[in-house]
Amino acid sequence: MNQVAEQDPLLETDFIKEMVKQMRAIDSYGTYDGWPADRILAPYVVTKEQRRAIPVIGDPDEIMLSRIKAFYNAISSLIEKECGLMAVPSVNITHEGFGRALITVGKLVVMDRTLRDVHRYGYESLSKMKDEGDKLLSVALEIIGKYPEVAGL
């Protein structure tokens, strides 16, 4: 298992807190009850060595797909928190691990991401995952600011 520092100040950021909420939300059997945030988010950290050990061709399992959905759900939730408009994530991935993730606000598409090789999904560190989430969030909020009338439909 990957190790994340339990006292890392990164764990107190809005994005990471939302990721933990989303991961707990998909835990229907209560497996994560009592687990600290670093342990819940550890599967998102995939080092270069670990990625090399994963075959290039592979099919994603349901656990991996739920992690990907939790990531985009967290971004959607933060969009709603920032602008007060409902953000709807839509993740469509084939059994081969290719697909697309969209987030819409009203009639406006604020994020469109092509996904490939999702069976190898992960980030070098929680910091890199947070940076990616923050980048997607800021671009989405910028698009909403540019086209508020479409986002309000």
Check if the beta carbon of residue 133 is closer than 8 Å to that of residue 72. no
100-105 mean pLDDT: 98
Q: Among 9, 146, 135, 151, which residue's Cα sits nearest to residue 78?
A: 135
Q: Which amino acid is at 13?
A: T
Tell me the per-residue pLDDT of 31-88, one tens digit each, with 9 for 90 and over: 999 999 999 999 999 999 998 898 888 889 999 999 999 999 999 999 999 999 999 9
The domain limits of the chain are 10-151
Which pair of structure tokens corresponds to residue 81?
Answer: 């928190």
Which pair of structure tokens corresponds to residue 109?
Answer: 């598409």
Q: What is the mean pLDDT of the chain?
A: 92
Does the domain formed by 10-151 have CATH 1.10.3100.20? yes
Tell me the per-residue pLDDT of 124-135, one tens digit each, with 9 for 90 and over: 999 999 999 999
pTM of the model: 0.91
| pLDDT of the residue at 6 | 58
